[in-house]
Structures are given as C-alpha cells and as structure tokens.
Structure 1
Amino acid sequence: MKHEFTVTSILEDARKKHDALMVLVEQNASVPFLYMDRDENIRDVLYHLYGWHQILSDLMTKNPIPPIELRPGYTWKNLTELNYKIKKEAESYTLHEVKHLFNQSHNHWMSKIAQLFDHTLNAAGLYPFTAPSNLGEFIHECMGGHYQWAIQTIEFHLGDPYLRPLLEGFKSLPEVEAIVLGGSRGKQQGDHLSDYDIYVYATKPIDVEERRRIIGPHVSLMEYNHQFFETEDDGVLNNGIGIEFIYRNLDDFKAMMERLFNGQVNRGYSTCFLDNLLTTKIIYDKKRAYKSLQDTYRFIDKAALYQQVIRQNIPLLYGTQPNYFDQIVKAVKRQDIIAVNHRLTEYFSLFFDTLFAINQINHPGEKRMLEKALSLPKQPKELEKTVGKVFDNITSGDFLKDLEQLTLDLIKLTK
C-alpha cells in the first residue's frame, strides 16, 4: 500500500528537518570534513539541496512527459554525472552565500506546498515526471527526505574525533600520497561491529617503527605488519572500535585498474577493487591523484567489463567440464563434506559475481552478499529460499535440483 501524503505532513517534516539541519550547520560551519566524497564540505551539501529545489521547480513548471530530462542533457540514467555537475557549481559560492540561497529556496517551497491540495499530492499520473511514484513522494524526497540525507551526510563526514589526531601523523609523512576510508564504514553501511578500514597510499613502504610511533598512542591493541593479504596493521582504537591500516602503492593500484579494464579479470571477485576505489571516502589526497583516479573510473563505460565477467564465469558454473555444479554433485554423492563446502564456496563466489555484473553493479565484497543481492532489480527466482536450502544440510543432496534451477535462471538473466 502506497503512503498517503498530506500537505500538513510534508510541511511539518520539512520544517522539523530544516531546523535540525541548520542547527548542525551553525555548530560545525568552521569544522572541515574528515572524509571527502562527492561533497567536500557543508557548502557542497547545502548547494546540492538547493540544486534539487531548482530541478523540482523546473519539472513542476514544465510537467514534461517521458523521457524526462532533469536538466538539459541529464536523465535518471546519468544521475551521478548530474550530481557532480551540481557539486561543481557549488564551488563558485561561499558557505554564507549558499546558506542564503538554500533558505530562500526552502521558504519558497514551503509557501508553494501550502497552496497544494492533498489529492494533488497522491494522484497517479497527474505529473508524469514522478512515475512510478506521485507528486507527494517526489516533493518529500526534495524536502524533508533530502534534508535528512544532508544531516546524516554531514554527521558522517565530520567523522570520528578519535581518528583525527591519529591520521594527522600519517599526513605528515612525505611519502604518503593519500589516505582513504573503505569497507562498510566507507560506504556508510557500517554497524557497531564494523571496523575502520584505512588505506594508506605511499610512494615507498612506511617503516614499521614509524607506524608504531604514529598509531600506538591512539589504540588499546595493535598487531603490526600482518602480511596475510596485504601489508596491514590491525587492532582496536581507544574508543573500542576496531581499525585496520592497509598499506598500498598508488601506482600499483592504478596498474591494477588498467589490467582490469584490459581484460585481466579475477574470477569470483572481479570488480571488488573497482568497488573499493569508487566507494572509499578521501581523508587526505596530497596532489588529488586519488580523486583523479576515482573520477577516471567513475564515469568510464563499464558495460564491456560486466559482459566479460559474465562470459568468464558462466561456463565455470554450469554446462562445461569441469564446472562447479557437477563437482558439487560428485562431492555430495561421495558424502565428502569438506569438498562440498569447498565447491559451494567457489560456486557462490562466481554466482554472485555474475549476478552483480548482470545488474551492472560492481562486486561489493563478501559481507552481507545475499542481503545485497536480494535488493537487485534482476535476480533469479527463489534465490533466498534456495540458498537457505543449500546450507540447511549440505551433504543431503536435497538441494541439488533447486540449485540447478537457480543456475539456469541465472543464465536466463544473461540473455
């Protein structure tokens, strides 16, 4: 059942969120963001809200029919590019000027909304540009809903005060080119169990004792120089939150991206490093080299890459010899529980890698993979049910027909 909007509810929500947002802005106007993403400061965030007020105004005035242009040359398909254009426009203004523009626009819309009728907000098809929603939802998303996003964005980007003095030590090292926040916290999807994944890009390896000097005063536990995957220091901040420092060379990372787009695709986790690049939040970027790398691959056409992932993975999942489905069947028949586990792990790494590529989404990493897959617009039938059945009793073999059907449904999505 769709939510019913009223003029009163939209106005009250927008007023409440606006007041909370402006208090947050006033309290932190002089505080720089710890993390930088598309929006690098409070000015950028407020101008983003103002920019979408203008888009809403143009759409309501013109009430265009599909295909909808949000601005000339920009549709929902290139929304990311539009939002970056709005961010670029913000750079011409001061925070004081943007606050004036935003508040003026907010007051204009509060007056305009007050003149609308409840049935206008909820009528289907009255404003074609709102499809498949209605005008009420569209206005809410540009007002109170967007203001709540701004509050959360500013609070996130102000960052954890425990990190600021720690990261200053790394910024002072001449060999450090960039520092970024990755992982689930970098994607703003973290919970109370999530660590801070801090990637430090340097022109040469940072001496372990130097790292110990910088990190030591700020942690209650730290194990230095793990080499299990990459060079890492892993421990716990004084506030009890886990933290990992991963050390990389930016030139090596650039070369990895070039190899990926030149056809050297890793099986199972094909676009994980690309996702890492595009979702990390910049903490320090001495010469904006990391931002430049992000921009290069943010707007590059990835369609050929996704197709290559699909072409590479499908034969290994099913239909050729030896494919993982057949290997799972054999392992079940042998009642070889270790082999079944091993083959299922390999199978699902390719399965989800393929599914994300079908949806033209970069591989988000192995945590919460099923949860993320279930939100995709394209997914095989009975995905959640089949995965649950597989892991309920993996040596019973009861799941094999369902798993085969799931695989065939995945293949259909590639056509």
Structure 2
Amino acid sequence: MPRPKTKTELLSQSTENLDKLNGLINSLSLEEQLRDFETPTMNRNIRDVLAHLHHWHLMFLGWYTEGMDGGRPAIPAKGYNWRTLPDLNREIWKKYQDHSLESIRKAFSNSHAEVTNLVQHHSQEELFERKRYAWTGNNAMAAYIIGVLSSHYVWALKLIKKGKKQKKGGN
C-alpha cells in the first residue's frame, strides 16, 4: 500500500489497517489473544503490541499539543532520539506490563479516535505541507501521523501474524 498523500488517503488507510488489525485479533480465541508469541521479541503478545501502538498515539498527541502551543517537543521523547528508539520502546513495554488486554484494547481504541479526530479537524494543507509548523521541522505533520497510525498498524499486523503462525505451528 503506497504511503498516503492526501487527508482522505490517510484516514482511509488508517481505518482500513485498524479494521484489519481488529479483525485479526477478533478472529482469535481469547486464549490465543492472551498467549505469548514464540518469537523472541520485546512485544511478546497482542497486549504488548497494542500497548506500544497506544503509547505512540499518546506521544504524538503530546508532540502536537506542545508544538501547536509554540513549544519544541522532544521527539521521540525526552532523553531519547531516533537512534535510541529500542531503549524508549523497552520503557514503553515495561510501563504496560500490569495492564490487561481488555484495558489496553479500550485505551488503544480511544487514543486512535483522538488522533483520527485531530486529523479530521485539519485541512489537507495543514497536514501535508512540509515545514508548515516549527515543531515538525522539515516534515509535514502527516509524516508523524502516518507513523503512528496506518504504517504502525501494518507493523503490528505483521508481528501478530508471525506470532500467531509460529504458535499454531508449535502446538
């Protein structure tokens, strides 16, 4: 699927990939949804994957709020840069270990809706014009949104499918 180039494509791909992600999860029994993947990866189960997505939604919303208020948000997060992303993702993973799949699914759904609502309230130009906002640097705001919505959902789908396939083959 090509990278979205319009607001309509962005919303459409995000919805389509979210539907695929939820469809895959809903096709699994509760036992399968709760079971850890055999793959030795940091995100060991569906809860971990959804918590990761949820937290990245929240980080984007924080960047957006601070940036639109004239600040310079720490992207990806305070104390981290793109080279130290594995360390940040490990901290995100730790943060959600005491949460249930059910609570994470609800939080993920809510944070997805928040980001989508934000997209709907911006024009195509506001979303896709590079350097429009100081806080996005040389990027368009949409670059960050695509990263936390549609393309991140593709990553999640692949990871869950791989984990599911290995579990089925391992039983």
Shorter-chain TM-score: which interval?
A: 0.7 to 0.9
* CA–CA separation in structure 1 for the residues paired with 2:160 and 2:135: 29
CA RMSD of aligned residues (A): 2.0
- Which residue is 2:31 aligned to? 30
- Which residue is 2:50 aligned to? 46
* CA–CA separation in structure 2 for the residues paired with 1:36 and 1:22: 23
- Name the amino acid aligned to 2:154: Q
Alignment partner of 1:159: what SS? Answer: helix
Unaligned runs of 5+ in 2: none
- The one of the two structures with greater contact order (alpha-carbon pairs below 8 A, sep at least 6) is 2
Q: With structure 1 as the length reference, what TM-score do the two structures score?
A: 0.37
After superposition, where does 1:14-413 map in structure 2 within 5 Å? 14-28=14-28, 29-31=30-32, 32=35, 33-63=37-67, 64-65=71-72, 68-160=74-166, 163-165=169-171
Q: Which has the higher helix share?
A: 2
What are the Cα deviations for residues 247-293 of structure 1, in whole angstroms up to 9, with x where unaligned? xxxxxxxxxxxxxxxxxxxxxxxxxxxxxxxxxxxxxxxxxxxxxxx
Unaligned runs of 5+ in 1: 166-415
Q: How has the CA–CA distance of structure 1 residues 162 and 107 changed in structure 2, closer, same or farther, with 3 Å as cutoff?
A: closer
Query: Is residue 42–residue 93 contact of structure 2 (8 Å, CA) maintained in 1?
Result: yes
* CA–CA separation in structure 2 for the residues paired with 1:161 and 1:54: 31
Alignment partner of 1:37: what SS? Answer: coil
Give the Å deviation of 1:129: 4.3
* CA–CA separation in structure 2 for the residues paired with 1:73 and 1:56: 16
What are the Cα deviations for residues 17-72 of structure 1, in whole angstroms up to 9, with x where unaligned? 11110111122342221223010100000000000001100111111448x34323
Indicate the percent of aligned positions where both proteins have the same amino acid.
25
Query: Is residue 74–residue 82 contact of structure 1 (8 Å, CA) maintained in 2?
Result: yes
Structure 1 or 2, whichever has the larger Rg, is 1
Query: Is residue 47–residue 100 contact of structure 2 (8 Å, CA) maintained in 1?
Result: yes
Q: Which has the higher strand share?
A: 1
Q: With structure 2 as the length reference, what TM-score do the two structures score?
A: 0.85
Q: How has the CA–CA distance of structure 1 residues 60 and 76 changed in structure 2, closer, same or farther, with 3 Å as cutoff?
A: same
Point out the more displaced range, 21-30 or 129-138: 129-138
* CA–CA separation in structure 2 for the residues paired with 1:4 and 1:18: 15
* CA–CA separation in structure 2 for the residues paired with 1:147 and 1:23: 12
Tell me how many residue pairs correspond in the alignment. 162
